[in-house]
């Protein structure tokens, strides 16, 4: 399943590159268009079309079929709807095999979406951390200038109070992490 997910990720990267080439210069707009395009494709091919097929073959309502598609691909799987179990319907073997393939590929697509969201959140967290670090450095630079005029020097304790980290990396949090891992962090 990881190989399928990687292939899908490559295709998604190609889609993102094509969207970037089509006059989407602003990164936030490009990211939003990419996310919406990916969401539309996933909804269409992995939720709406299969729900329509299940609705016609299983004789479920469309909402029941959509519910089944969502519950199956999200791996919740309550078991209240199961394909191929109605004794009044003669199921074709191809139908069951296509459904199995849909589940496997759908799970890989779900893994791709989770990886995309994780990467986007990680990038956002990195940007926030970078901005925070810049602000701390800026405030420390201003404090050092005012203390520099007085001839004083900022000590590690005041920096630890401002940033939450000791200057030499020996804050209580770092010591706790070192104790937990047994390694020097």
Comparison of pLDDT for 24 and 95, the residue scoring more = 95
Q: What's the mean pLDDT in 122-146? A: 83
The whole-angstrom separation of Cα 79 and Cα 93 is 21
Alpha-carbon distances of 113 from 29, 49, 82, 86, 138, rounded to whole Å: 18, 19, 25, 33, 37
Do 145 and 160 share a structural domain? no
**Run of H or E residues at 133:** helix 93-150
Mean pLDDT, the chain, as a whole number? Answer: 79
Range of the domain at 183: 155-185
Q: Are 8 and 108 in contact (CB under 8 A)?
A: yes
Do 146 and 169 share a structural domain? no
Do 54 and 7 share a structural domain? yes
Do 108 and 45 share a structural domain? yes
Do 18 and 59 share a structural domain? yes
pLDDT in tens, 77-105: 898 999 999 999 999 999 999 999 999 99
Do 185 and 105 share a structural domain? no
Do 100 and 137 share a structural domain? yes
Residue 20: CATH number of its domain: 1.10.287.70
Number of domains in the chain: 2
- Sequence-distant (≥ 6) Cβ neighbours of residue 184 within 8 angstroms: 178
Do 76 and 7 share a structural domain? yes
Distance of CA 38 to the CA centre of its chain: 13
Tokens of 141: 């630079």
Do 106 and 30 share a structural domain? yes
Q: Are 99 and 58 in contact (CB under 8 A)?
A: no
Do 82 and 170 share a structural domain? no
What pTM was estimated for this model as a whole? 0.58
Q: What are phi and psi of 73, to 5 degrees?
A: -75, -25
- CB burial of residue 26 (10 Å; 0-12, 13-18, 19+): exposed
Do 97 and 178 share a structural domain? no
pLDDT in tens, 38-70: 888 889 999 999 999 999 999 999 999 999 999
Q: Is the dihedral angle over the CA atoms 158, 163, 164, 165 positive or is it negative? A: negative
The whole-angstrom separation of Cα 128 and Cα 121 is 10
Do 182 and 104 share a structural domain? no
Tokens of 137: 């450095």
């Amino acid at each position: 399943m990881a190989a399928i997910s990687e292939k899908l990720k490559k295709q998604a990267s190609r889609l993102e590159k094509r969207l970037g080439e089509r006059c989407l210069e602003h990164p936030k707009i490009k990211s939003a268009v990419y996310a919406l395009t990916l969401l539309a494709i996933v909804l269409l091919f992995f939720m709406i079309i299969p729900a329509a097929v299940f609705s016609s073959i299983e004789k479920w309502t469309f909402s029941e079929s959509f519910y089944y598609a969502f519950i199956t691909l999200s791996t919740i799987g309550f078991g209240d709807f199961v394909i191929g179990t109605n004794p009044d319907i003669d199921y074709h073997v191809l139908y069951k095999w296509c459904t199995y393939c849909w589940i496997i590929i759908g799970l890989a697509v779900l893994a791709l979406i989770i990886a995309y969201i994780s990467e986007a959140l990680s990038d956002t967290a990195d940007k926030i951390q970078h901005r925070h670090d810049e602000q701390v450095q800026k405030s420390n630079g201003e404090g050092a200038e005012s203390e520099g005029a007085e001839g004083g020097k900022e000590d590690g304790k005041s920096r630890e109070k401002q940033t939450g980290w000791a200057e030499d990396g020996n804050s209580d949090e770092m010591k706790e992490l070192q104790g937990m891992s047994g390694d020097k962090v």
